[in-house]
């Protein structure tokens, strides 16, 4: 059974998540989706690409598109000098890097802390995240990795900021 | 004799006989090409005879019986009572195989197995009895020789080649691509390290990688012949179907091409061939009426041209009539009347590549089934190739397909735009022009919102790469000092792309773009450069589309000074464009111009009643154009007092006579069809024409010589 099949079964009570910080948000991505986490890489800007696309990086000879999660969420850009981390995901045979502020630890939240995305969250949040976990002192937003493939540069920016505040 | 001694003898016998059998194989094959060689026959006979003797002694009955029968046959062959036919060779080779099999059995078990050799022995006997006079031998031997000649290279080819799975080749190719990239990176890094031994090693590595790349690419190469091999039959059948006579000429079939590309051009090529027979080549009576041989010629040509392969399909048929094409395009609603009027003949003919175009008078089952030339062009462009055609009504049409040798690794030009590098496939590259920004302004103009650049008098649609890529224009003080224009060809259109910098060329490996970037039509892929950085590969067709080059080109055709209309009956000519005085322009034919010089004013001297220039150890009589034109003399040499200015001189030569024409400035060299009207004609002036939108006098050089009254013989 491939990881895809294995995990597509869903509802797995002991799911593990790699956690990442983006601004004030704590984002979780299922461990098996994450190929690797690497430090900031030199990037080639892609003119005319969707605004979420920060650039292309050379990952050992493979060209990987880097998505700026801040931009995707409609959050303000990183302050100057603050470097980002690349979280490289494998999505349908394509490697995509998500640029996050910091990489955190791997967590295994209890299944009973799982909740859906609050219905009060903005449309953008609801399309990006599949659910939440209430951790001690933080709310973990579980990224719906498939939503990465739907990025087209037309997401409503700005909505995320206030909406997630409410959600936490 | 004890068992051990016996075993020893058997072992010896096995080893020796096996060796002899190998020799037998070779001798028998050699005999096929030289069936009467007594020496070879003798050698084969002796070997079999030895086997018979030893096996009889050792008590291997089967072997003995078999070798006895073979020996009898060989004896007759050796003595010339029988001839060696293919059947006899076959049966003798079978004997060798049977002996070998028996020996294996003996080696394994110490005894013969219980195989039945009676059939083989019976056949040997039949072939021996079937004795024919030796005289007939030669006649019989003939086909055997032919067969042998055939068999031998086949055999050696079998030994020298292996079948390889295409997937394996593909994966090798991509790995070699990675290796090339890694090599480029290593080379780039090493340049910063001061270590001779390391440099030498890297250089060797680099060479080996290049050779390996070439080798792997070669494994994927197949001759174009392979593609053509089916065409003679297609052509024969089609010609018969249309009652046409067509002879086929093929040239350059050995030209090799990557197999995936070969596969990709198969359909376009077949389509062009079908078209040529269906539409182009006329019926025999029509051909005779047109003064051509009844048999039409279809030529397939393949050749290498600057890293590309050119495939031509040429016919000597009716050619393409632009009027017919225009009428058809109008009827199909592909173009409007206005658009047509503004098109050159070449552009009209190019309409056959538009979707929805078909010139077939009636729909035949050969062509005109909706699979048109547009598909041909699309298919060829998909693999980075181009198709164009040249046609002369009445004499024929030639289609040229240009394709890259290979897809995976391509040479590309690296250009810079706003601090970032981009790669442009060299297949699209025609030339590069560098302009200083101050000079650029005069050559780059805006016509109705579109930028154009004057390239040798020809207006070229121009796009600024930064603008096309969506960058905001730079402030005046941020403008780069120089602008480079890269002249590209795509989709039958020319376009100039203004970039900030040109870095040079690099072999790049085309890598696919991810889903988010793929949607940008300006990029065909990306690659990793020697320093590890990622560069986007520009899609030239996408660039042309983004810049709406097609519209601009059509618009330019309207402007009267687009002087590249090759299809007009007027002759093309090239002029040197000069400024005389403040704003008069003079065009002088380039044909007789020996040199363009900037001579220091100090080297101009007065001689007799005219001025001369010391020129290459000789004296060159000078004629000031201002005198001929009667323009107020503002020539450069006199304008600054005492400061030695230089004067632009056009040096003319018609073999013996030399003449220097002095102008105020040499502006340009323009090429095209210029209609010279008698406006302003006078002594020394043929008339005037319009160049770059300016009325320009055209100099009559002979008259200028005469007018100046300078006979070089006198001066020199």
ipTM of the modeled complex: 0.83
A124 part of a folded domain: yes
DSSP, collapsed to helix, strand or coil, labels residue B285 as helix
A153 part of a folded domain: no
Which candidate in A41, A42, A44 is best for mutational testing of the B interface (most B CBs within 10 A)? A44
- Per-residue model confidence (pLDDT) at position B135: 39
Which candidate in A48, A72, A99 is best for mutational testing of the B interface (most B CBs within 10 A)? A48
- Per-residue model confidence (pLDDT) at position B420: 92
CB contact under 8 A, B533 and A44: yes
- What average pLDDT does the structure give for chain B? 76
CA separation for the pair B354, B334 (Å, rounded): 8
Whether B601 and B639 have beta carbons less than 8 Å apart is answered as no
* Strands in B560-600 per DSSP E: 573-580, 584-589, 593-600
Which helix (H) or strand (E) covers residue B258, if one does? strand B256-258
- A78: containing domain: 3-148
Whether B83 and B73 have beta carbons less than 8 Å apart is answered as no
Contacts with A56 from chain B: Cβ below 8 Å? 514, 517, 526, 534, 536
Whether B66 and B95 have beta carbons less than 8 Å apart is answered as yes
**Torsion angles phi and psi, residue A87, rounded to 5:** -105, 110
* Strands in chain A per DSSP E: 17-22, 25-30, 34-38, 53-59, 62-68, 85-91, 94-100, 102-107, 114-115, 129-135, 138-143
Contacts with A58 from chain B: Cβ below 8 Å? 528, 532-534
**What b-and-e string marks burial along B701-713, b requiring 16 or more CB atoms within 10 Å of the CB?**
beebbeebebebe
* Strands in B334-469 per DSSP E: 386-392, 396-404, 409-417, 420-425, 429-436, 444-447, 450-455, 458-464
Least trusted range by pLDDT, from A4-8, A76-80, A137-141, B86-90: A4-8
Does residue B277 register a pLDDT over 80?
yes
% chain B with pLDDT above 90:
6
CA separation for the pair A39, A83 (Å, rounded): 8
Output the CA–CA distances (angstroms, integers) from residue B301 to B313, B425, B502, B587, in the order listed. Answer: 7, 25, 35, 41
Query: What residues of chain A have any CB closer than 8 angstroms to a CB in chain B?
Result: 42-50, 52-53, 55-58, 61-65, 67, 94-96, 149, 151-152
pLDDT band of A14, cuts 50, 70, 90: low
Contacts with B181 from chain A: Cβ below 8 Å? 61
Give the closest-approach CA distance of A149 to chain B in angstroms: 7
Look at residues B124, B141, B133 and name the one whose alpha carbon lies nearest to residue B84.
B141
- Which whole number is the average pLDDT over B512-541? 86
CB contact under 8 A, B471 and A47: yes
- Which whole number is the average pLDDT over B586-590? 82
Least trusted range by pLDDT, from A76-85, A98-107, B45-54: A76-85
Distance of CA B660 to the CA centre of its chain: 44
CB contact under 8 A, B528 and A63: yes
pLDDT band of A57, cuts 50, 70, 90: very high
CA separation for the pair B653, B670 (Å, rounded): 20
CA separation for the pair B78, B96 (Å, rounded): 18
pLDDT band of B679, cuts 50, 70, 90: low
Look at residues A40, A50, A25, A23 and name the one whose alpha carbon lies nearest to residue A151.
A50
pLDDT band of B560, cuts 50, 70, 90: very low
- Count: domains in chain A: 1
Which candidate in B516, B522, B543 is best for mutational testing of the A interface (most A CBs within 10 A)? B516
A166 part of a folded domain: no
Does residue B265 register a pLDDT over 60?
yes
- Which whole number is the average pLDDT over B458-480? 81
pLDDT tens digits, B311-324: 999 999 888 888 88
- Per-residue model confidence (pLDDT) at position B707: 64
Contacts with B520 from chain A: Cβ below 8 Å? 46-49
Does residue A46 register a pLDDT over 90?
yes
Q: Which residue has the tokens 């792997």?
A: B216
Q: Which of B178, B181, B516 sits opposite A50 (nearest CB)?
A: B516
Instruction: State the Rg of chain A over Cα.
Output: 15
B117 vs B609, more confident:
B117
pLDDT band of A66, cuts 50, 70, 90: very high
Look at residues B676, B657, B596, B660 and name the one whose alpha carbon lies nearest to residue B625.
B660
Instruction: State the Rg of chain B over Cα.
Output: 39
Q: What would the two tokens of residue B272 be?
A: 């062009």
Helix B231-241 vs helix B259-275: crossing angle, to nearest 10: 10
pLDDT band of B406, cuts 50, 70, 90: low
A164 part of a folded domain: no
Question: Which residue of chain A has the CA closest to B527?
Answer: A63
Query: What residues of chain B have any CB closer than 8 angstroms to a CB in chain A?
Result: 178, 181-182, 420, 469-471, 511-517, 519-520, 522-523, 526, 528, 532-536
Least trusted range by pLDDT, from A16-25, A98-107, B407-416, B596-605: B596-605
Output the CA–CA distances (angstroms, integers) from residue B204 to A52, B198, B199, B200, B208, in the order listed. Answer: 44, 10, 9, 6, 6
CB contact under 8 A, B515 and A149: yes
pLDDT tens digits, B172-198: 887 888 888 788 888 888 888 888 899
Does residue B111 register a pLDDT over 70?
yes
Does residue B300 register a pLDDT over 90?
yes
Output the CA–CA distances (angstroms, integers) from residue B650 to B70, B360, B698, in the order listed. Answer: 94, 54, 14
Strand-pairing partners, residue B597, are: B649
Q: Which of B470, B511, B515 sits opposite A63 (nearest CB)?
A: B511
Output the CA–CA distances (angstroms, integers) from residue A79 to A38, A72, B80, in the order listed. Answer: 20, 16, 101
What is the bridge-based pairing of β-strands A62-68 and A53-59? Answer: antiparallel
A103 part of a folded domain: yes
Residues 6+ apart with CB under 8 A from B56: B64
Instruction: Please report the sign of the dihedral spanned by the C-alpha atoms of residue B111, residue B115, residue B119, residue B120.
Output: negative
A163 part of a folded domain: no
Q: Which residue has the tokens 């040429």?
A: B314
A160 part of a folded domain: no
B217 vs B276, more confident:
B276
Q: Using CB atoms within 10 A of its CB, is residue A139 exposed (0-12), middle (13-18) or buried (19+)?
A: middle
CB contact under 8 A, B536 and A44: yes
**Torsion angles phi and psi, residue B439, rounded to 5:** -75, -25
- Per-residue model confidence (pLDDT) at position A1: 46
pLDDT band of B163, cuts 50, 70, 90: confident
CATH number at residue A92: 2.40.50.180
Which candidate in A47, A66, A86 is best for mutational testing of the B interface (most B CBs within 10 A)? A47
Does residue B368 register a pLDDT over 60?
no
A122 part of a folded domain: yes
Q: Which residue has the tokens 């179907």?
A: B241
pLDDT band of B567, cuts 50, 70, 90: very low
CA angle at residue B60 from B55 to B62, to 5 degrees?
A: 105
């Amino acid at each position: 059974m491939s990881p895809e099949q294995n995990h597509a079964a869903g509802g797995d009570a002991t799911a593990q998540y790699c956690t990442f910080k983006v601004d004030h948000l704590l984002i979780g991505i299922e461990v098996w989706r994450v190929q690797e986490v690497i430090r900031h890489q030199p990037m080639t800007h892609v003119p005319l690409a969707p605004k979420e696309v920060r650039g292309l990086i050379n990952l050992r000879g493979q060209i990987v598109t880097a998505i700026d999660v801040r931009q995707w969420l409609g959050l303000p850009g990183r302050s100057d000098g603050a470097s980002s981390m690349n979280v490289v995901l494998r999505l349908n045979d394509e490697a995509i890097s998500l640029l996050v502020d910091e990489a955190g630890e791997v967590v295994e939240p209890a299944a009973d802390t799982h909740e859906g995305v609050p219905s009060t969250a903005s449309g953008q949040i609801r399309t990006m995240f599949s659910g939440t976990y209430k951790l001690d002192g933080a709310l973990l937003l579980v990224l719906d990795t498939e939503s990465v493939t739907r990025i087209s540069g037309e997401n409503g920016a700005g909505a995320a900021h206030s909406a997630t505040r409410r959600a936490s | 004799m004890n068992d051990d001694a016996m075993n020893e003898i058997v072992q010896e016998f096995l080893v020796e006989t096996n060796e002899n059998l190998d020799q037998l194989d070779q001798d028998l094959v050699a005999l096929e090409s030289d069936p009467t060689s007594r020496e070879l026959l003798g050698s084969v006979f002796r070997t079999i005879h030895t086997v018979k003797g030893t096996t009889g002694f050792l008590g291997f009955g089967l072997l003995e019986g078999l070798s006895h029968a073979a020996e009898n046959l060989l004896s007759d062959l050796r003595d010339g009572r029988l001839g060696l036919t293919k059947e006899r060779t076959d049966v003798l080779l079978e004997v060798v195989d049977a002996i070998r099999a028996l020996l294996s059995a003996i080696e394994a078990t110490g005894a013969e197995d219980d195989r039945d050799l009676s059939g083989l022995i019976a056949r040997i006997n039949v072939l021996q009895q079937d004795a024919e006079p030796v005289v007939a031998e030669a006649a019989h031997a003939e086909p055997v020789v032919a067969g042998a000649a055939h068999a031998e290279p086949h055999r050696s080819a079998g030994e020298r080649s292996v079948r390889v799975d295409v997937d394996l080749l593909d994966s090798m190719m991509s790995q070699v691509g990675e290796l090339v990239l890694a090599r480029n990176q290593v080379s780039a890094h090493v340049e910063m390290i001061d270590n001779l031994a390391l440099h030498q090693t890297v250089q060797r590595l680099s060479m080996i990688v290049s050779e390996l790349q070439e080798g792997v690419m070669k494994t994927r190469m197949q001759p174009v012949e392979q593609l053509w091999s089916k065409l003679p039959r297609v052509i024969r059948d089609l010609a018969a179907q249309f009652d046409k006579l067509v002879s086929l000429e093929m040239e350059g079939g050995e030209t090799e091409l990557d197999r995936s590309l070969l596969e990709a051009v198969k359909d376009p090529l077949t389509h062009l061939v079908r078209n040529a027979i269906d539409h182009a080549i006329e019926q025999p009576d029509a051909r005779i009426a047109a003064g051509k041989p009844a048999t039409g010629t279809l030529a397939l040509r393949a050749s290498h041209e600057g890293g590309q392969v050119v495939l031509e399909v040429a016919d000597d048929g009716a050619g393409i009539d632009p009027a017919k094409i225009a009428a058809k395009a109008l009827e199909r609603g592909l173009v409007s009347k206005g658009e047509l009027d503004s098109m050159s003949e070449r552009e009209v003919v190019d309409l056959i590549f538009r979707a929805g175009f078909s010139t077939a008078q009636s729909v035949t089952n050969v062509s005109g089934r909706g699979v048109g030339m547009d598909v041909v062009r699309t298919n060829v462009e998909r693999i980075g190739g181009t198709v164009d055609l040249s046609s002369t009504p009445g004499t024929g049409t030639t289609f040229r397909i240009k394709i890259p040798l290979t897809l995976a690794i391509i040479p590309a030009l690296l250009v810079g735009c706003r601090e970032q590098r981009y790669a442009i496939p060299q297949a699209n590259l025609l030339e590069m022009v560098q302009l200083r920004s101050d000079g650029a302004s005069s050559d780059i103009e805006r016509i109705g919102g579109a930028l154009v650049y004057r390239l040798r008098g020809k207006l070229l649609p121009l796009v600024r790469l930064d603008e096309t890529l969506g960058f905001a224009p730079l402030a005046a003080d941020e403008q780069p000092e120089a602008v480079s224009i890269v002249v590209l060809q795509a989709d039958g259109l020319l376009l100039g792309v203004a970039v900030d910098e040109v870095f040079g060329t690099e072999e790049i490996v085309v890598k696919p773009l991810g889903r988010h970037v793929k949607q940008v039509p300006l990029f065909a892929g990306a690659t990793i450069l020697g320093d590890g950085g990622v560069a986007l590969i520009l899609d030239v067709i996408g660039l042309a589309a983004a810049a709406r080059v097609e519209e601009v080109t059509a618009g330019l055709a309207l402007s009267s000074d687009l002087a590249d209309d090759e299809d007009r009956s007027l002759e093309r000519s090239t002029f040197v464009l000069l400024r005389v005085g403040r704003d008069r322009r003079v065009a002088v034919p380039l044909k007789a111009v020996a040199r363009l010089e900037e001579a220091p004013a100090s080297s101009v001297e007065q001689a007799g009643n005219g001025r001369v220039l010391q020129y290459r150890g000789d004296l060159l009589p000078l004629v000031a154009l201002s005198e001929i034109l009667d323009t107020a003399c503002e020539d450069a040499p006199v304008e600054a007092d005492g400061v030695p200015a230089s004067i632009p001189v056009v040096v003319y030569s018609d073999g013996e006579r030399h003449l220097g024409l002095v102008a105020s400035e040499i502006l340009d060299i323009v090429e095209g069809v210029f209609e010279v009207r008698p406006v302003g004609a006078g002594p020394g002036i043929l008339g005037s024409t319009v160049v770059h939108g300016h009325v320009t006098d055209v100099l009559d050089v002979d008259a200028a010589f005469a007018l100046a009254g300078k006979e070089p013989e006198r001066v020199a």
